[in-house]
Structure 1
Amino acid sequence: MLQPAHANAVAKNILRKLVQGESPPTAPMKIVDRLAGSPYANFTIQVGKAEESARKTIDFALHLAETMFRYGAGALEVETSIIAVTAALGLRHIEVDITNQSVIINYAPRDAVPITLLRVVRSWTNNYAGLVAVHELVTDITAGGVSRDEAYRRLDVIVKKPKPFPRWMVAVAEAVFAAAVVGVIGGTPFGMIVALITILLAGQTARVLGKWRVPDFFVTAISSFIVTIVAVLCFMARVPLSPSVVVAGGILLMLPSGRLVSAVQDAINGFPVTAAGRFLSAFLSFGAIVAGIAVALVTGALFGAERLNVAETINSLLPLYSVLGLVAVATVAICIAEQTAVRLLLPTVAVALIGYLVYYLGMYWGLGGRFAPAVAAVVIGMLARIIALRLGAPQLVVAVPSIIFLLVGLSIFRAMFVMTLTPEESITGFVGLFNALIVILAVAAGVVLGDNAARPFTHIKGTKDRRRNRRR
């Protein structure tokens, strides 16, 4: 039987643990705690292989981070990869700072001279297949089976490896995507053909301008001008198609929907500077699109064309099975345009179709234009994490192509178009912009929530391995 004094001490200790938790409430979080829930939570530390050559290890980590950013990775994925790689290669006392286009790593061991290195990302490219290869490399490093020198060699191979699809196939895929979108949002077969030809023309023009180092803002504006002027010419020639459908389908490929969702995800995950940079870049793209459309409409008016309402809401009359077929075709096309690994094409199509079905059922059951996309995004986020990690890929490469048909970019485009070209309806434009931002926030939060909700189903190695981060 416990003595009264001892019983009081035990009770106080239990109460203190309930109030304070296992660690003091003001204790700072260790940087490796950022790996909790990530695919690299069970890393293996290689003792004595990094402390003597910390500079080379940090150089490798920066090169890895730059490659991931260039290929389209989010800030959280880049940060967790850096932390996992440096920890697995034996470096302690690491701090990482990520902004929109730069990565800083500070290494400050006790009783030694600190090292701070910076890497700036100056170019971007679509290469989801390369991102998958980098993910596999980081996974192998954290498993303890790859040395730093071998990791350097493998990363160089990834960077120099050709993309899985040639340029001509990417150009055709972009045009096919636009044609499929026109079909999904209510266009006729003839409208799909017009959209395909228009995007081929705009794509080739954009590639020429890119070779001339023209800023992306003007490239986007000229591309949207080409799409709109073709629609205006068809309208002037009394061609039986809806100009708004052609414009909407043509610009959907230019809309920075994925960038907007990534910006919100970065803000949710604790990277406000990166999120602000991506938001600014995305809204500049919207401004370029609206500018190109405005110039095309004014040009058409000079030659006697009526002012078109290219931002009107469009409702598809196709049966569900036809829409699902077009969604599947468009998802394959956007995967080719993003240079996704071939083995991920069918899984991504499956996730996109399931996500669209959830969205369709949500709208049918009356969830509304705000809640239905959020529910679909949660399902897409969960499936993308489970399927992607089991196939050795990051969640991003499956989730981003799958959310395209939630059409979060079209709502912002319509709002900005109304605000710019119809000043008398500015209030309507502001309300539309606010509603569009709410939908984008809901979709991005849904993808992040789905990613987190799927974590219990992706701990393949179990809790025993999580406790067994032993040194080798």
Structure 2
Amino acid sequence: MVEPELPATQLIPLPNRLALTLDFCLRLGEILLSSGAGAADVTVTMLSVARALGAADAEADITFTLLTMSHQTSPDEAPLIARRQVAQRVTDYQDLTNVDHLVRGVVAGRIGLREGRAELNRITSTGHDRHRWAVTAGWGVMSAGIAILLGGGPVVVVVAALAALLIDRLQLRIARRRLPTFYAQVAGGGTAALVAVAARVLDERFDLGLDVSFVITANIVVLLAGVGFMGAIQDALTGFYITAGARITEAVLSTCGIIAGVSGGLSVASAFGVDLPTVEPGATGIQGIGMAAVGGAIGAAAFAFSSYSPNRVLAPIAVVAAIAVTISATVEEPGLGRTWAVGVAAFFVGLVGYAVAKRLRVPPLIVVVSCVVPMLPGIAIYRGLSLLGEGSRRDTSLGLVAIIGAASVALAIAAGVILGEYLAQPLGREVRRVEDRLVGPRLVGPSSLLGRRAGRAIDRRTRRRTEGARDEPAPGPTRRTPPQR
């Protein structure tokens, strides 16, 4: 419910103001954490907003499902504690961008507590600019782009896009029934495999020249796109091991859901006598680096579009993704291995993602996650599943090796991006004590750290607000206070 507008000069009791401030910070943190931001970024953002609004003694504690903030002015006073559950996790980059702009306005002093709460209510209660069917079409375009990246022909591209459309509508229905994500991933993987089985049957009858393994692989990448590998590795690198362990567990469960769904579809194919080929290493190179770059650009831009990213970032994301795919293919060609190749490409994405995001006024998380989507290890997962389905001891061993290789590729992508962000973002030497133990790459939230002089200025403003318990109006034209009746 939207908070009613009151005169900016009206007195607010101090306990009520602290409670409203903590609630405001918790709601901001919930949106950031559910959108894939790292725990360090969320903690720094919440504490920065609390400090800017007069709660300089606030403390924050974050787990994967619970946000907690407390405030204690002196040891002889009882602390004020507020908590908020993280109910759902959705990839919504429109809300993430709007919240990022709101946070920067509050930290800079342009937005007060009352205006900030009203703006946050507007962000969370307003729908998206894009229709849901446009988002479904975006997932289809993304799968088509990944099929081009893998080297599929026109028929493969069309079938992969059709399968992605079916997967998205099916997962949407499952989400509305509030089933766990694991079952949605199982349904998505099974749908991809069954569409491939049907396409294989048609190919045997009409000789369409269809390689259905690329269809399954493209849709595996689509299903992996929403898995939070990036946030898990960032949490582990910045010292939030409990949250990192929970995110890794969620990522493993989501990936296992895909594996279960695809293996179930392959079992159905085997039961009906349909032979689905195994993808061999190096099969992605038949299109050449040029077409692979085009497919990667289409896939990355379509993922950003489907995640409600602002339109102004789609073209830059496509360009950065195309360069990253080219770097990956170029490094892998001499025989350095897939893991090192994608690690170097992901490092490039992290290095330039900060500058691109700063130029376009969006969180760097949007740029880096979208650009690494084409490099997700879908082909390794499908190859491992196919070998595991053969049943022989040798094929089972090779399948396990392929699955482990896919995990190493995912780790290399996340670690490369985080390392690039570490080197790209300038870190000030004089920082607030809040950030002394949370120094790391800022994928979300204020990227410029406040020095001691700025911290003292905020402390002086905090004392004035505390003594008068007033909500300072935002700079700009003032409104006349209506007469009291």
TM-score (ref. length: structure 1): 0.83
Q: How much has 1:256 moved relative to structure 2?
A: 5.0
Contact 2:221 2:377 in 1 (8 A): no
1:264-283 alignment, distance < 5 Å: 264-283=233-252
Q: How much has 1:422 moved relative to structure 2?
A: 3.7
- For 1:197 and 1:222, the matched residues in 2 are separated by 15
CA distance 1:54–1:310, shift in 2 (3 Å): farther
Moved more, 88-97 or 113-122: 88-97
Moved more, 416-425 or 457-466: 457-466
Match of 2:111 in 1: 146
- For 2:38 and 2:342, the matched residues in 1 are separated by 21
Which amino acid is 1:304 matched to? Answer: G
Q: How much has 1:384 moved relative to structure 2?
A: 1.0
Moved more, 311-320 or 411-420: 411-420
Which amino acid is 2:187 matched to? Answer: I
Match of 1:167 in 2: 132
CA distance 1:449–1:64, shift in 2 (3 Å): same
Deviations 1:26-49 (CA, angstroms, capped at 9, x unpaired)? xxxxxxxxxxxxxxxxxxxxxx99
| Structure 1: gaps of 5 or more residues | 1-47
Query: Which residue of 218, 240, 246 maps to 2:215?
Result: 246
Contact 1:411 1:436 in 2 (8 A): yes
Query: Which residue of 437, 443, 449 maps to 2:413?
Result: 443
1:77 aligns with 2:41: yes
Match of 1:66 in 2: 30
Q: How much has 1:334 moved relative to structure 2?
A: 0.7
TM-score (ref. length: structure 2): 0.80
CA distance 1:272–1:326, shift in 2 (3 Å): same
1:395-410 alignment, distance < 5 Å: 395-410=364-379
Deviations 1:275-323 (CA, angstroms, capped at 9, x unpaired)? 11121111212222222222222222332323x3455433232233332
Superposition CA RMSD, Å: 2.7
Contact 1:164 1:341 in 2 (8 A): no
Moved more, 309-318 or 447-456: 309-318
Contact 2:227 2:251 in 1 (8 A): no
| Structure 2: gaps of 5 or more residues | 1-11, 430-445, 462-485
SS in 1 for 2:224: coil
Moved more, 314-323 or 406-415: 406-415
Q: How much has 1:423 moved relative to structure 2?
A: 6.2
Match of 1:95 in 2: 59
Count of residue pairs brought into register by the alignment:
424
SS in 1 for 2:228: helix
- For 1:420 and 1:301, the matched residues in 2 are separated by 9
CA distance 1:214–1:468, shift in 2 (3 Å): closer
Deviations 1:223-282 (CA, angstroms, capped at 9, x unpaired)? 221211121122233142112111111221112575123211211121111111121111
Q: How much has 1:366 moved relative to structure 2?
A: 4.3
1:211 aligns with 2:179: no
Contact 1:165 1:336 in 2 (8 A): no
Match of 1:31 in 2: none
1:351-362 alignment, distance < 5 Å: 351-362=320-331
Q: How much has 1:51 moved relative to structure 2?
A: 7.3
SS in 2 for 1:97: strand
Moved more, 48-57 or 97-106: 48-57
1:300 aligns with 2:269: yes
Deviations 1:310-346 (CA, angstroms, capped at 9, x unpaired)? 5543323223333222222222211111110112212
Q: How much has 1:74 moved relative to structure 2?
A: 2.4
Contact 2:36 2:228 in 1 (8 A): no
Which amino acid is 2:421 matched to? Answer: D
- For 1:413 and 1:317, the matched residues in 2 are separated by 18
Contact 1:231 1:246 in 2 (8 A): yes
Contact 1:96 1:106 in 2 (8 A): yes
Query: Which residue of 338, 342, 357 maps to 1:373?
Result: 342
SS in 2 for 1:456: coil
Sequence identity, in percent? 29
SS in 1 for 2:67: strand
